[in-house]
Chains A and B, each alone.
Chain A
Amino acid sequence: MNEYFNQVAAIVWKDFITELKTRELFSSMFIFALLVIIIFVFSVNLSIVGAREIGPGVLWVAFLFAGTIGLNRSFMLEKENGCLQGLLLAPLDRTALYFGKLVSNFVFLLIMEAFMLPLFMIFFNIDLIQHLLPLLYVILVGTLGFCAIGTLLSSLSVNLKTRDIMLPILLYPLMVPIVIGSVQMTGQVLSGEPLSDMMNWVSLTLCFDVIYIAVSIMTIDFVLEE
């Protein structure tokens, strides 16, 4: 078991070292998310449509679109020089590879989201600080579900010629329950409601997190087989 965690940690370490050197993933995700928010700010009249009504949706659209770039890049990194083959030849359980990539994607996305929240606050003129803790919980739960299924589909689409198109086509329909749950929870949190009043949405999102992780564990062997 110790070896298993060491292998997961090695994959995370490798992804972080690579990202620290290149900064390709973070910069592309951050700029894309920022652009999405700016486009919405200028295309919607916030004096007519309330920022608290449209804000949660815009925030999650930005996270989702930017996250898709990150997921695409995540396994593309492994394709260069046939590194994925090197990983598959190494004596590690395929699920260790999945969890390593999941943790990397999850943390990268959370860092990007942490940088986006202050900008979102400024552009939409919403005070997030007083709702920060429940909001962080919602973001953690939503991002986990996104990364759980996204990492699996990213490993599936990496060998396809049309991977750039296939990943969003496969991912977005499966993201619907998590996006609905996350947007609803974010809206209610920004309205000042406590998490205990939205347990149905919390349960729904958590339930899909668990389902997507379980499905990934069960299928990753077949997905990664050549």
Chain B
Amino acid sequence: MVFRMSEQTHPVSSDPVVKVRDIQKDFGYLRAVNGISFDLYKGEFLTIFGPNGAGKTTLIKILSGLTRPTSGSATVAGFDVLGGDVRLRKEIGVISHATCLYPDLTALENLLFYGKLYGLDDPEDTANQAIKEVGLQLRRHDRVRTFSRGMQQRLTIARATLHDPSVLFLDEPFTGLDLQATNVLKDHLHELHTGKRTLIMTTHDMSCGLEMCDRVAIQCKGRFAMLESIDSVDRENFENLYTETLER
């Protein structure tokens, strides 16, 4: 398999925020992640494309400390993902197709709960502010069960960024969203993509994925088949490149 890697540019900081070395993850005989290595620097946005079963979600789970890799090492925000360090979890936020919201609690109660778990100084004020930022202040006392998928995903963004994480993982965040909700989510992601925050997103949505990222990877059969700076990628022909890369 041809493995292409761009020269890494990292103007903001010399220490990588995400450092992955030869990560492997086996589920029985199935190797979900097969020797992935890369560095990501402060403020960078990496989008990972790949077919279903490529191991993208497993990689995100390893980096967020939810799953232990079979071998290899990884650090996020300076903390080893293998150590189960509580401080690592204060530095990361995860947005996936699972909202992690309690359907019978209101929007405010959900964020209040997570605010308490994260040990925020003023959870109520922070929760109200976060709800306002995602435009749900009029529905803050409504149960999450009554929210549309798009509204739930906006609240998920508020939940995941409540503690102002320095690294944000987004696992297929556009799944199940209509066009309007997708545009709202994209706007929020643009706001989150500030110089101080590092983002890794997995998605099937090529236009959304390419629009926001600084670096792009294609993951196939557990490996990175490509990892390039977005500047060196022809966005118009990316779909062809994606298909060609998968066929190799």
Contact = CB atoms under 8 A, between A and B. Distances in A.
Interface of A: 3, 6-7, 9-11, 13-14, 17-18, 21-22, 77, 80-83, 85-93, 221, 225-226
Interface residues of B, number: 31
Contacts of B64: 89
B102 A90 contact: no
Given A10-B113, A89-B64, A226-B67, A81 B89 contact: no
A81 B143 CA distance: 14
Contacts of A90: 89, 114, 117-118
B104 interface: yes
Nearest to B93: A89
A90 B118 CA distance: 6
B86 interface: yes
Contacts of A9: 116
B109 A91 contact: no
A90 B159 CA distance: 11
Interface string B72-111: 0000000000001011011010101011111111000100
Given A89-B94, A91-B90, A81 B117 contact: no
B135 interface: no
A226 B143 CA distance: 29
Contacts of B143: 21
A226 B117 contact: no
Given A89-B64, A92-B117, A81 B102 contact: yes
Interface of B: 61, 64-68, 84, 86-87, 89-90, 92, 94, 96, 98-105, 109, 113-114, 116-119, 143, 159
Contacts of B100: 81-83, 85-86, 89
A93 B68 CA distance: 17
Contacts of A221: 84
A226 B100 CA distance: 16
Given A91-B90, A91-B117, A92-B117, A86 B104 contact: no
A90 B111 CA distance: 12
Contacts of B103: 80-81
22 contacts: A3-B119, A6-B116, A7-B119, A9-B116, A10-B113, A11-B117, A14-B105, A18-B102, A21-B105, A80-B103, A81-B100, A82-B98, A83-B102, A85-B66, A85-B96, A86-B100, A90-B114, A90-B118, A91-B87, A91-B117, A92-B86, A92-B117
Contacts of B87: 91
Contacts of A87: 117
A93 B65 CA distance: 13
Q: Which of B65, B68, B101, B117 has most chain A Cβ within 10 Å? A: B117
A91 B89 contact: yes
B86 A225 contact: no
